Amino acid sequence: MTATHHDVLIIGSGAAGLTAALSLATKLKVLVLAKGDLTSGSTAWAQGGIAAVLDAGDTFEDHVRDTMIAGAGLNDEEVVRFVIERAPAAIDRLCELGVPFNRESGDLHLTREGGHSHRRIVHVDDATGWAVQAALLKAAEENPNITLLPGQSCVDLVTGRNEERYSGSGRVWGAYALDEASGKVRLHTARATVMAAGGAGRVYQFSTSPRGATGDGIAMAWRAGARVSNMEMMQFHPTCLYNLEVKNFLITEAVRGEGGHLINPRTGERFMSQYDPERMELAPRDVVARANDDQIKRFGLDYVHLDISHQPPEFVKGHFPTIHEKLLGLGIDMTRQPIPVVPAQHYTCGGVMIDLAGRTDLPGLYAAGECTESGLHGANRLASNSLLECFVFGEAAAQDILARWDSFDAPPAIREWDESRVTDSDEEVVIKQNWTEIRRMMWNYVGIVRTTKRLERAKHRIDLLASEIADYYGHFRVTTDLIELRNLHQCAGLIVESALKRHESRGLHFTLDYPETDAVPVDTVLVP
């Protein structure tokens, strides 16, 4: 297939990628690639909303403090301030794009979520992400400087190594992407590339993330030579629906924000008083997820109950129309009955290291959104700070590219993808087997509560799988499944390696072998 060239290549059409695209397109030609369809990322699934200080009684200081408390001090305070102070402007931009946020007497309605000391979550009912994704996509589709290309699974970044005359530089010049329809890999070059490929949630057996959250961006940047950090900080959401058919449906934290109680279905007890008597159900996510996990394991339960049926039915239906309808379809009326819930992986706090301008270690490569570790979240992301991070860093990366545009060289001659030495796979079962094995192993050995022994077992399994996957990748034509397996495996390795390096319990990393928290928080930085 013929190669493409654009000023800027963006990998990912979620909140981070499209925010960057819309700003860049004021001056430059932008290509946005997405795996599957343009709404396949996590953005479209976001429920709760976007955190921003908009209430007269609230302050930036309070939002900074809540973010640092949730992040167990591992956050970079300068970054936290940078993001939080830009939140109101980000919300204004979304309003201008037509996002129909809920309002009350003309003012934006603010809901509440765990870890927030104020009502501060702007939302569109309980389906904020869908409305945000639709507004960004509409604006991008209408912009003549933006080309949106779905159905493209990026395989790897193009670096100096792919130049016809290799200069030895780690400069990034774009990416190779599998065109899912034709099965051919195509070269896409650009002067600057923005990685916005989302998180790695699907590395776990149970996750709220969509199917494509396989850590492709983190793995591609790592293979190209960028450092990653804090990969052990995997967030588990306390309340994913427990249902044998519907495996990854989130019950938003806003249900607890609007008064929902967590109850042990066997004892009938509202158990959060045992774990965090002051904040109860509105404690940060790591605390509530561990509490749910503990109840489930100690009492041999399949799930715990989340109950908001004490609120008036109209209030529940009005606040949570999507969840209410979805549950009714499954035979649960949340206005009258408790909802069975379990913890599930939800968010990747670690990722590709970036600075305040979204720059990675590699010249020409920027990154934004869930695939990054910007310093905002630290050891545990505060609810609804993630979409906000996408808007702020998508914009920051775009502004830095625009400001430095004259210093970006045009790409040199780059080699096309070479598949002369590979054949079609004759054993797809290998991919399925390895994919399932990794996800189950990560859930069992690298989950909410960890031990060194279990982490070492996981490392052993990951090391064994490495040569099998490399061998498969070296011999067969790439498919999206193979690309994802290779990336899932790489991310699993990064998570386990990071977890083994942290000899303390902090935020989302809780290990029985090191239950104390060190006096000084230190990032886990992995260097390729």
Told to check if 34 binds ligand FAD by CB under 6 A, we report yes
> CA quadruple 83, 86, 92, 98: dihedral positive or negative?
negative
For 175, how many CA atoms within 13 A lie in the half-sphere containing its CB?
32
Residue 383 found at the interface with ligand SIN (CB under 6 A) = yes
Binder among 45, 176, 242, 271 for ligand FAD (CB under 6 A): 45
Site for ligand FAD in 158-217 (CB under 6 A): 196-198, 208-209, 212, 216
Residue from 125, 216, 253, 361 touching ligand SIN (CB under 6 A): that is 253
Q: Whole-number minimum distance, CB 372 to ligand FAD, in Å? A: 8
**C-alpha 509: how far from its chain's center?**
17
Restricting to residues 95-154, which ones interact with ligand SIN according to CB under 6 A? none
CB hemisphere CA count around 72 (13 angstroms): 25
Give the nearer residue to ligand FAD in terms of CB position, either 3 or 301. Answer: 3
Are the beta carbons of 393 and 374 closer than 8 angstroms?
Answer: yes
Distance between CA atoms of residues 192 and 30, nearest Å: 10
Extract the tokens encoding 417.
């993808």
**Which are the catalytic amino acids?**
285
Beta strands in 67-221 (DSSP E): 103-104, 107-108, 110-111, 121-122, 146-149, 152-159, 172-179, 184-195
Considering only 13, 23, 39, 47, the residue that binds ligand SIN (CB under 6 A) is 47
Which of these ranges, 16-24, 76-84, 378-386, 511-519, lies near ligand SIN under the rule CB under 6 A? 378-386
- Of 224-232, 247-255, 394-402, 475-483, the window that binds ligand SIN (rule: CB under 6 A) is 247-255
Smallest CA-to-CA distance from 370 within 499, 233, 205, 241 is with 233
* Residues contacting residue 137 through CB under 8 Å, at least 6 positions apart: 13, 18, 38, 39, 148
Query: By C-beta, is 16 or 291 nearer to ligand FAD?
Result: 16
Is the Cβ of residue 50 or residue 491 nearer to ligand SIN in the bound state? 50
Helices (H) and strands (E) in the chain, counts: 14, 20
Q: Does 386 bind ligand SIN (CB under 6 A)?
A: yes
**Binding positions for ligand FAD, 385-414, rule CB under 6 A:** 385-387, 390
CB of 56 to ligand FAD, least distance (A): 23
Tokens of residue 242, six digits: 């427990």
Q: Smallest distance from the beta carbon of 199 to ligand SIN, in angstroms? A: 11
* The pair of three-digit structure tokens given for residue 29, joined into one six-digit string: 């030609």
Least Cβ distance, residue 384 to ligand FAD (angstroms): 4
Which of 264/434 has CB closer to ligand FAD?
A: 434
Please report whether residue 87 would count as binding ligand SIN according to CB under 6 A: no
Question: What span, in angstroms and rounded, lies between the C-alpha atoms of 465 and 462?
Answer: 5
Contact 198, 369 (CB under 8 A): yes
What is the rounded distance in angstroms from the CA atom of residue 210 to the CA atom of residue 42? Answer: 6
Residue 149 CB, nearest distance to ligand SIN (Å)? 28
Distance CA 199, CA 210 (A): 10
Instruction: State the DSSP code for 281.
Output: G
For residue 16, the partner it binds in ligand SIN, ligand FAD, none, with Cβ less than 5 to 8 A by kind, is ligand FAD
Name the segment binding ligand SIN (CB under 6 A); options: 138-146, 170-178, 197-205, 379-387. Answer: 379-387
- Distance between CA atoms of residues 121 and 129, nearest Å: 13
Among 22, 23, 40, 234, indicate the residue that binds ligand FAD (CB under 6 A).
40
Contact residues for ligand FAD (CB under 6 A)? 11-17, 33-36, 40-43, 45-50, 128-129, 152-154, 196-198, 208-209, 212, 216, 250, 347, 369-370, 384-387, 390
